[in-house]
Amino acid sequence: MSFRKMKDTIDYGDTVILHIGYDNMLPIMIAKGETMQTKFGAVKHSSLVGKQYGTKIQCSKGWVFVLQPTPELWTLSLPHRTQILYSTDISMIIFQLDLKPGSIVAEAGTGSGSLSHAILRTIQPSGQLLTFEFHGERCDKARQEFAEHGLSEFVTVTHRDVCGEGFQLDHLVDAVFLDLPKPWECIASAKNAIKREGGRICTFSPCIEQVQRSCEELSKNNFTDIVTVECLARNFNIQYAKLQNVLPSDVPLAANGDSVNCGTEEDESKQKSHKKVKKAPESFLNKAQDNQVKTAVHNYCFSSAIPTIAMQGHTGFLTFASLYYH
Amino acid sequence: MSFRKMKDTIDYGDTVILHIGYDNMLPIMIAKGETMQTKFGAVKHSSLVGKQYGTKIQCSKGWVFVLQPTPELWTLSLPHRTQILYSTDISMIIFQLDLKPGSIVAEAGTGSGSLSHAILRTIQPSGQLLTFEFHGERCDKARQEFAEHGLSEFVTVTHRDVCGEGFQLDHLVDAVFLDLPKPWECIASAKNAIKREGGRICTFSPCIEQVQRSCEELSKNNFTDIVTVECLARNFNIQYAKLQNVLPSDVPLAANGDSVNCGTEEDESKQKSHKKVKKAPESFLNKAQDNQVKTAVHNYCFSSAIPTIAMQGHTGFLTFASLYYH
Amino acid sequence: MTDIQEGDHVVFKRDGLSRVYQMRRNREVYFERSKFKVDDLIGQPYGSTFEIDRGKLVKFEQEKVVQLKETISSLPGADNRNLLDAESNQKMSKDDIMKMKDEGITGEKIIEELIENSETFKGKTEFSQAKYLKKKKKKHILVFTVLRPTPRLVMEIFSKEPGKICNLRPDTLSQLLNYGNVMYGSNVAVVETCQGLVLASLLQRMGGEGKLIQLVPNTSNSVCRQVMDYFNFPKEHLDNVYMFPLDTFSTITDDTEETDGNSAANLNLETSSEKTVTAPTDAASTDGGDSSIDSKTLMTVGGVLVESSDKSDQSENAALLNIPGKAAPSTDVAEANDVTMKDNDALIENAAGGEVIGGKRQLPPNRDLQRQLKLQKQKEAGQIIRNKQLDSLILACKYNPLPILMTMLEFLPPSRPVVVYCQYLEPLVECYTQIKKKGIGLQLRLSETWFREYQVLPQRTHPLMNMSGTGGYLLTFMTVQPVIEKVQS
Amino acid sequence: MTDIQEGDHVVFKRDGLSRVYQMRRNREVYFERSKFKVDDLIGQPYGSTFEIDRGKLVKFEQEKVVQLKETISSLPGADNRNLLDAESNQKMSKDDIMKMKDEGITGEKIIEELIENSETFKGKTEFSQAKYLKKKKKKHILVFTVLRPTPRLVMEIFSKEPGKICNLRPDTLSQLLNYGNVMYGSNVAVVETCQGLVLASLLQRMGGEGKLIQLVPNTSNSVCRQVMDYFNFPKEHLDNVYMFPLDTFSTITDDTEETDGNSAANLNLETSSEKTVTAPTDAASTDGGDSSIDSKTLMTVGGVLVESSDKSDQSENAALLNIPGKAAPSTDVAEANDVTMKDNDALIENAAGGEVIGGKRQLPPNRDLQRQLKLQKQKEAGQIIRNKQLDSLILACKYNPLPILMTMLEFLPPSRPVVVYCQYLEPLVECYTQIKKKGIGLQLRLSETWFREYQVLPQRTHPLMNMSGTGGYLLTFMTVQPVIEKVQS
């Protein structure tokens, strides 16, 4: 039930997210007699029941947090059965498909259910997700997950290759999402699935050639407002930077970010608050900078938002289109 | 001569850049008896002779600066005969083609000579640029410009459609640059133009389909290390921002950018230094902000680097490749 | 309800341009330099396409659209070596065109004349011909589709003046809604200065359940919620919207039941001071077009009558549009440039919505009742906050987010998402640093989005030549209970 | 000189990876986990490709490369629905592979065995097969090309640890060179802490003429110029490189001829204090691999013996690599991940260049002569600066750029380009604000570059899945003479 509504405390049957670190989250379903092993020690499920979501839990070798799942947390912690969609693209898809409570959506394929969970959050309780997956085992897993998450009544998982067999839906849905190797093969069938009053479609494709064929096919099928976009998240790290003034700075500095002459002690305390962000590397950095202090008393200090050097360069192209009254 | 070497003062025959505004620069060749009309008034050529480059010149209705041209300034002020390449791409091309004094380069087409000037700066005085242009008039104009700029001895402008007729060069050049609608048609000819010991090639194409055909053809012709890249310049405006604190701020702010409680007078003086950046709009902004001061004494003030909202979204794809000893 | 009803706000959409109009019989609207009555739209299904033919609405057949598309198919690479200044090659003057229009000649006919009078058209490549045709069609033939407003469409209204909505872009707004975990029945606290766009988007995602509390700086200032009107929300949905002034915050920090009385007293004080301040606002509203028509609805929402005449917004926006940056839009013909300028002017004139001529006005309702209702809802909102019943906190405003964030976090239960949007990076660095320092946020993330659009056409696929340089920055995290709980293991 | 000479520094290049080695007979090198002697490379033409076959260099035929390419051509879209964990489907263990290698079995043979022992290979799509083959070939067959070092190739050495060169990327370095208007005969002042990469790139563009003045913080600190060695610059070119300590700056601010004496005195003072400081530096250099070999050359360049053991650099870099960001590289097989880790380790061990085993060492030359030469060049550099003979100023360092910029601008003639590169945005905002305020720069521009690489393959074209999030920021402008000159009009 923890996916349908925000809750205060943990009950048996809830799926919770054990937050061990920024890139280390484990989803667990709370069951009697079960125990979860984490790198900080074991956590007995029963001991979590009745606890408030967001609580810091002491384990034998450290602590973890227990969070109520959101589709965004789920996307970061779910078991991968396929390549998955991430929240930057997912957000755009939900928005561009005009989804809201009550929307009826067709999705192919289900994959690992990353997008499905976000769709379900938005369209429940009056909407329906009709999701199609050609891979039998994945179908079963998805169905099981939706059931565990209390979402079964809002979703129908169908085991079918829509590329060959089509959606077999007759003017029923508000929106169609296609994440398939050959989306263009399903566009005619998608058109037939969309309500007479019109609707929206989205295809996700990693390669531009797929986009080109999809756009052609969309156009042929009288879809309009065809738009292809790309969204890339660029994350920033906050770093406390200290640049040596190799010449005496007689220039008055502007309003921004600079305690010139910042001493070592003062910095140390400021940096402590940052140490959690980057553990080992920063301590090296501190040492290195401290050495420099010997030769230069003056430093220019500031908090800097630095884009992460390694970033996701591409996920896929999102093509959106409208089908008007038809 | 002003393109070949940095000079101190202006002579007859020099091409100079009249800098009227950030996006308003005029290239003029200093000639006896000539007068240049600008929106700030007329400038007699003869009056500039002997003046130092970089001088601020008083005209009847304002002042302009007179700068010595660099290829970068030339790119921003040259007469457009075609779409031109800009300095972000040009810098990448020169770098990736491994150009340096002494390099021999084949270029097709010459276009408006934007890239040519940057190539010539880098390869002169011992290098040679062999540039090809299929449009007769453009050829003549380019030849004339190179002569005026004192660059004739380093460049040969040939009137030819290299797509049909090829470069007709036998293992002579270090690098080839292609900015043509169908670059793939010239790749075999480019290969033959490149020195036996090897060299580099670059093609510039706006559409991905052109890139795909070029890459295929490069591969077929034993070019290796084929890499396609895109460079986009993102410019920042510096804006002095003032955000209202709608709640009393009892939170100690970090090292950075914030004179909380900054009063109106103080801000005014700070903002004056920024007024030149954005004229009319900022004065409106000041008024609007001043009004807010009545209801809120506390503001959070900082200099902010804001990416320009409207930016160049695409110029073209740059494909680079190596031809090794052949 | 798939047909357009009288009173509906609808979107007129053509290419990348959207405008919102309210449907009233006998009302004339301006759209893309044309003036026409909208009567004939009422009763038509949403999604219908119309053409303005000599000042009259005509239903547009689908086939024409397709035909236009097929014209544009040619190979690139052919050279236009002789084309430099297209404008001087046109024998017809602007006056000629205006005259033809005055004579009631159709757009199609005008384009035919333009082609015949172009010296260079025949020498152009097929691709260039198609491009020319497309441009002229856009200028001389006005075709648009009438659609039900959605956040996506309404957002397009602001695409040329993003400063009005704090530079929000579809990518950032969409993330704000998703990372905020907004869903049916959510209790959401929001601070926004985006004309009501964020408010409306949130309300739609709540589907008629839950509470949407808009935090505003103080009781005396008006807030602009203009965009809320565009969505034709039923009254039951609007009833879920609350307004809570942040300057009455001290009234809810005491936990005792007694303080409720105190709070009410405080609120009364605030309200009386508001009396004098709102007067000029109301006066201004009378020349605000049809906004007073919906004032009754707005009253029940619990807000004061709100106004879009936020001057600081407009000038801020102007500043942002006139940036001395380098990226210049690549319009190669002077004429096209001209059009853009005109469009822009119209846009500023009309504010965000469509300009409407005529339309009857109603008298403002009982002001006392209005004030009482407002106070009641304000109190309810305060209780929700105090009782820690919020499911998410969302900030997208031109105020310094840090004090608001730190104050509100006290009232947010653990394991709840927080999203702070800001058009500047620096304030979010401050927020990030504080949250990190206090250890009160998990999955803390500061990001921006690179949002890029593509032209996908046979043999001519490439990213668009112009793009948006910034859609603002997002700080997202989950609240936690930092006290350690020991459990059995 | 198209053949590799003994003593040359050469680049070994394979795919996206480059390493620099100096060619010496009888010397063994480590490259991509292989150890081999380079003797056979001497006398071969640059651009030749070699394979390491059981520890020996073998010339590689072009045809093989082409064949490998053709294997990789298949349509996408076929589904790998049964593939989840590729590693567990391989019957051969890592030990098996190691054993085969020890037995001297070729890489080709090992790959054949791997395919035969893969349970899933036959079930894979043609595309997946090709991908698998490519990956295995990269791992088990070591083919590389020997190239003459260029800034482009040398830069690749740092592609996995950009922190060592202040996050410079090809796009930013290239703009730094172009906007700096560096050309044959330029007089350039530069401050760099990029291991000498910027210095070397500038020197190459100067083509053996002009003066390249490296401004360093002070006489006592050593600066790393390691990359300068890689370019095999002739002595005449290196003679144009000067070093000027910024802490002796006061000596050139007085304009009289007399100050030259003063300056010399000052310099002497500085130099004597340096004596004690440089001692440990020299001591450290003896275990710095083959860097002492080139010390003689470096002396004539006018610098002290320089060292790459800049610890702060390394840790800074480590900090930048271990960022807690979200973008995870998409390696789907654990084995591949493993390899990356190992490569990384090796990289850090080797610093930027290739690790070399053996190689004779020379004794340091006369230290007194060295100091005298240094002093002489320092004085010359001071004169060039004082006489305002600089053509451009380029900063790319980890120091606060503002004081250096404002000091140096006094000595730059008008109409000269200035380029300030910084890996942080904030210091450049300060510089921008000052230049703007003082009105001493035209075409002032603060920018960053979005640099993106594409995979272009039939039916599989898309931007690369991983990219660099930042290549630093650039501030560019032209100096001006702010005094107004009245002229005839």
Does D328 map to a domain?
no
Within 8 A of A244 by CB-CB distance, chain D residues are: 217, 398-400
CB atoms within 10 A of CB D414: 23
CB C113 within 8 A of CB C136: no
Q: Looking at the structure, tell me whether residues C343 and C364 fall in a common domain.
A: no
DSSP H or E stretch at residue B55: strand B55-59
CB A131 within 8 A of CB A157: yes
CB D36 within 8 A of CB D57: yes
Q: Can you spell out the DSSP letters for C12-25?
A: EEETTEEEEEE--T
DSSP D321: H
Last residue of a domain, one of D147, D177, D209: D147
CB D200 within 8 A of CB D228: yes
pLDDT at residue number C54:
80
pLDDT at residue number D363:
54
User: B309 to chain C: nearest residue by CA?
Assistant: C469
Of B240, B255, B270, the CB nearest to A302: B255
Which has more pLDDT, B52 or D108?
B52
Distance of CA C429 to the CA centre of its chain: 27
User: Given a cut of 60, is residue D317 above it in pLDDT?
Assistant: no
pLDDT band at D62 (very low <50, low <70, confident <90, very high): low
Indicate yes or no: CB of C174 within 8 angstroms of CB of A92. yes
Mean pLDDT value across chain C: 75
Question: Residue range C165-192: average pLDDT?
Answer: 97
Instruction: Give C368→chain D minimum CA distance, Å.
Output: 53
C-alpha dihedral sign at D240, D243, D248, D253: positive
Q: C456 at the A interface (CB within 8 A)?
A: yes
User: C463 to chain D: nearest residue by CA?
Assistant: D463
Residue carrying the six token digits 């740092």: D158
The whole-angstrom separation of Cα A110 and Cα A99 is 18
Q: Name the least confident of B202-206, C71-75, C147-151, C196-200.
A: C71-75
Q: Looking at the structure, tell me whether residues C216 and C261 fall in a common domain.
A: yes
Q: B276 at the C interface (CB within 8 A)?
A: no
Indicate yes or no: CB of D430 within 8 angstroms of CB of A253. yes
Chains that touch A (3 or more CB pairs under 8 A): B, C, D
Q: C326 at the D interface (CB within 8 A)?
A: yes
Nearest to residue A312, comparing CAs of A242, A232, A245, A248? Answer: A232
pLDDT tens digits for range A105-123: 999 999 999 999 999 999 9
**CATH superfamily of the domain spanning A74-232+314-324:** Vaccinia Virus protein VP39 (3.40.50.150)
C-alpha dihedral sign at D259, D265, D266, D267: positive
Which has more pLDDT, C266 or D368?
D368
pLDDT at residue number C141:
82
Helical H segments across C18-169, by residue range: 62-71, 94-102, 107-116, 126-140, 151-157
Within 8 A of C311 by CB-CB distance, chain B residues are: 288
pLDDT at residue number D355:
42
User: D174 to chain B: nearest residue by CA?
Assistant: B91
Mean pLDDT value across chain D: 75
DSSP H or E stretch at residue A15: strand A15-21
Within 8 A of A98 by CB-CB distance, chain C residues are: 150-152
Q: Can you spell out the DSSP letters for C128-154?
A: HHHHHHHHHHHHH-EEEEEE---HHHH
pLDDT tens digits for range D416-451: 999 999 999 999 999 999 999 999 999 999 999 999
Query: Is residue A133 a known part of a binding site?
Result: yes
Q: Looking at the structure, tell me whether residues C261 and C380 fall in a common domain.
A: yes
Indicate yes or no: CB of D184 within 8 angstroms of CB of B101. yes
Q: Looking at the structure, tell me whether residues C337 and C412 fall in a common domain.
A: no
pLDDT at residue number C88:
55
The whole-angstrom separation of Cα C236 and Cα C229 is 14
Encoding tokens for residue C189?
A: 């606290």
User: B291 to chain C: nearest residue by CA?
Assistant: C312
Which has more pLDDT, C167 or D224?
C167
Nearest to residue B299, comparing CAs of D433, A305, C403? Answer: C403
Give the Å distances, CA to CA, from C356 to C10, C195, C228, C229, D242.
Answer: 13, 19, 18, 15, 72
Q: Can you spell out the DSSP letters for D257-317?
A: TTHHHHHHHHHHHHHHHHHHHHHHHHHHHTTSGGGGGGHHHHHHHT--------HHHHHHH
Does C489 map to a domain?
no
Chains that touch D (3 or more CB pairs under 8 A): A, B, C
Nearest to residue C22, comparing CAs of C365, C363, C359, C361? Answer: C359
pLDDT tens digits for range A215-248: 999 999 999 999 999 999 999 999 999 999 988 7
pLDDT at residue number A317:
98
Is 0.95 exceeded by the ipTM?
no
pLDDT at residue number B256:
41
CB C116 within 8 A of CB C96: no
pLDDT at residue number C213:
97
User: Given a cut of 70, is residue A198 above it in pLDDT?
Assistant: yes
User: Given a cut of 90, is residue C337 above it in pLDDT?
Assistant: no
Topology at the third CATH level for domain B15-69: Vcp-like ATPase; Chain A, domain 2 (3.10.330)
List the single best residue of B88, B275, B309 to mutate versus C (max C Cβ within 10 A).
B309
Q: Where are the domains of chain A?
A: 15-69, 74-232+314-324, 236-307
Q: What share of chain C is helix, strand, coil (3-state, %, to 5)?
A: 45, 20, 35
Residue D37 burial (CB < 10 Å; 0-12/13-18/19+)? middle
3-state secondary structure of C238: helix
**Rg of the Cα trace of chain B?**
25
pLDDT tens digits for range C422-433: 999 999 999 999
**Rg of the Cα trace of chain D?**
26
pLDDT at residue number C137:
75
Nearest to residue C303, comparing CAs of C247, C224, C380, C366? Answer: C224
Q: Looking at the structure, tell me whether residues C420 and C452 fall in a common domain.
A: yes
Within 8 A of D487 by CB-CB distance, chain B residues are: 43-44, 47-48, 51, 57-58
Residues paired with residue D21 on neighbouring β-strands, in sequence order: D10
Mean pLDDT value across chain A: 87
Instruction: Give C468→chain D minimum CA distance, Å.
Output: 13
CB atoms within 10 A of CB B263: 11
3-state secondary structure of A54: coil
Q: D185 at the A interface (CB within 8 A)?
A: no
Q: At what angle do helices C311-321 and C334-349 cross, to 10 degrees?
A: 160
CA-based max dimension of chain C: 89
Indicate yes or no: CB of B181 within 8 angstroms of CB of C167. no
Within 8 A of D445 by CB-CB distance, chain C residues are: 326
In chain C, what percentage of residues exceed pLDDT 70?
A: 68
Residue carrying the six token digits 């084995």: D335
Long-range contacts of D98-106 (CB under 8 A, 24+ apart): D104/D54, D106/D53, D106/D54
Question: Residue range C369-374: average pLDDT?
Answer: 87
pLDDT at residue number A116:
98
pLDDT at residue number B156:
98
Last residue of a domain, one of D147, D169, D202: D147
Within 8 A of B273 by CB-CB distance, chain D residues are: 433, 436-437
DSSP H or E stretch at residue D454: strand D441-455
Within 8 A of C474 by CB-CB distance, chain D residues are: none
Query: Is residue A109 a known part of a binding site?
Result: no
Indicate yes or no: CB of D450 within 8 angstroms of CB of C450. yes
Question: Residue range D126-142: average pLDDT?
Answer: 76
pLDDT band at C308 (very low <50, low <70, confident <90, very high): very low
Q: Which D residues, 27 through 86, put their C-beta within 8 Å of a C-beta on chain A?
A: 76-79, 81, 84
Indicate yes or no: CB of D450 within 8 angstroms of CB of C445. no
Distance of CA B8 to the CA centre of its chain: 23
User: D425 to chain B: nearest residue by CA?
Assistant: B305
Nearest to residue D278, comparing CAs of D315, D229, D225, D223? Answer: D223
Q: Which domain covers residue D45, as residue numbers?
A: 9-147
pLDDT tens digits for range D449-466: 999 999 999 999 999 999
User: Given a cut of 80, is residue A1 above it in pLDDT?
Assistant: no
Does C157 map to a domain?
yes
Which has more pLDDT, A63 or D366?
A63
Q: Name the least confident of B57-66, C297-306, C355-364, D58-67.
A: C297-306
pLDDT band at D1 (very low <50, low <70, confident <90, very high): low
pLDDT at residue number A110:
97
Q: C13 at the A interface (CB within 8 A)?
A: yes
Indicate yes or no: CB of A310 within 8 angstroms of CB of D403. no
pLDDT tens digits for range A3-23: 999 999 999 999 999 999 989
Of A207, A244, A249, the CB nearest to D459: A207
pLDDT tens digits for range A29-66: 999 999 999 999 999 999 999 999 999 999 999 999 99
pLDDT band at A189 (very low <50, low <70, confident <90, very high): very high
Residue D355 burial (CB < 10 Å; 0-12/13-18/19+)? middle
Encoding tokens for residue D229?
A: 């060695």
CATH number, domain containing residue D184? 3.40.50.150
The whole-angstrom separation of Cα D479 and Cα C298 is 58
pLDDT at residue number B17:
96
Q: Which A residues, 246 through 275, put their C-beta within 8 Å of a C-beta on chain C?
A: 256, 273-274
CB D443 within 8 A of CB B17: no
Q: Looking at the structure, tell me whether residues C87 and C172 fall in a common domain.
A: no
Name the strands in the sheet holding C49-53, side by side, starting at the edge strand that comes first in the sequence: C17-22, C9-14, C142-147, C49-53, C56-59
Sequence letter at residue A196: R
Last residue of a domain, one of C147, C167, C196: C147
Instruction: Give D254→chain C minimum CA distance, Å.
Output: 40
Indicate yes or no: CB of A310 within 8 angstroms of CB of D466. yes
pLDDT at residue number C132:
77
Residues paired with residue D53 on neighbouring β-strands, in sequence order: D56
User: Given a cut of 50, is residue C388 above it in pLDDT?
Assistant: yes
pLDDT at residue number D484:
73
Within 8 A of C445 by CB-CB distance, chain D residues are: 326
Instruction: Give A298→chain D minimum CA distance, Å.
Output: 10
pLDDT band at C339 (very low <50, low <70, confident <90, very high): very low
Indicate yes or no: CB of B6 within 8 angstroms of CB of D177. no
Question: Residue range D132-141: average pLDDT?
Answer: 77
User: Given a cut of 80, is residue D297 above it in pLDDT?
Assistant: no
Residue carrying the six token digits 């001057």: C311
User: A258 to chain B: nearest residue by CA?
Assistant: B256
Residue D159 burial (CB < 10 Å; 0-12/13-18/19+)? middle
Tens-digit pLDDT profile for chain B (326 aa)?
Answer: 679 999 999 999 999 999 999 899 999 999 999 999 999 999 999 999 999 999 999 999 999 999 999 999 999 999 999 999 999 999 999 999 999 999 999 999 999 999 999 999 999 999 999 999 999 999 999 999 999 999 999 999 999 999 989 999 999 999 999 999 999 999 999 999 999 999 999 999 999 999 999 999 999 999 999 999 999 999 999 999 999 998 875 544 433 444 344 433 333 333 333 333 333 333 333 333 333 333 344 789 999 999 999 999 999 999 999 999 88
In chain C, what percentage of residues exceed pLDDT 90?
A: 47
Beta strands B55-59 and B62-67 are antiparallel
pLDDT band at D253 (very low <50, low <70, confident <90, very high): low
C-alpha dihedral sign at D59, D63, D64, D65: positive
pLDDT band at C121 (very low <50, low <70, confident <90, very high): confident
CB atoms within 10 A of CB C482: 14
Does D347 map to a domain?
no
Which has more pLDDT, D115 or B49?
B49
Encoding tokens for residue B184?
A: 């793939």
**Rg of the Cα trace of chain A?**
25
Number of structural domains (chain C) is 3
pLDDT at residue number D113:
77
Indicate yes or no: CB of D327 within 8 angstroms of CB of A308. yes
Within 8 A of C326 by CB-CB distance, chain D residues are: 445
Within 8 A of A261 by CB-CB distance, chain D residues are: none
The whole-angstrom separation of Cα B326 and Cα C6 is 77
- Which residue ranges of B make up the annotated binding site for S-adenosyl-L-methionine? 112-115, 133, 161, 179
Indicate yes or no: CB of D489 within 8 angstroms of CB of B42. yes
pLDDT at residue number D328:
34
Indicate yes or no: CB of B238 within 8 angstroms of CB of D2. no
C-alpha dihedral sign at C144, C145, C148, C154: negative
Q: D324 at the A interface (CB within 8 A)?
A: yes
pLDDT at residue number C249:
76
Q: Looking at the structure, tell me whether residues D402 and D461 fall in a common domain.
A: yes
Q: Looking at the structure, tell me whether residues C267 and C330 fall in a common domain.
A: no
Buried b (16+ CB within 10 A) or exposed e, C72-96: bebebbeeeeeeeebeeebeeeeee
Indicate yes or no: CB of B57 within 8 angstroms of CB of D62. no
Indicate yes or no: CB of A256 within 8 angstroms of CB of B254. no
Does D127 map to a domain?
yes
CB D198 within 8 A of CB D396: yes
User: A53 to chain C: nearest residue by CA?
Assistant: C415
3-state secondary structure of D130: helix
Does C487 map to a domain?
no
| Cβ neighbours of residue B253 closer than 8 Å, sequence gap 6 or more | B260, B300, C402, C430
Sequence letter at residue A264: T
User: B251 to chain C: nearest residue by CA?
Assistant: C403
Does C293 map to a domain?
yes
Q: Looking at the structure, tell me whether residues D387 and D401 fall in a common domain.
A: yes
Q: C125 at the B interface (CB within 8 A)?
A: no
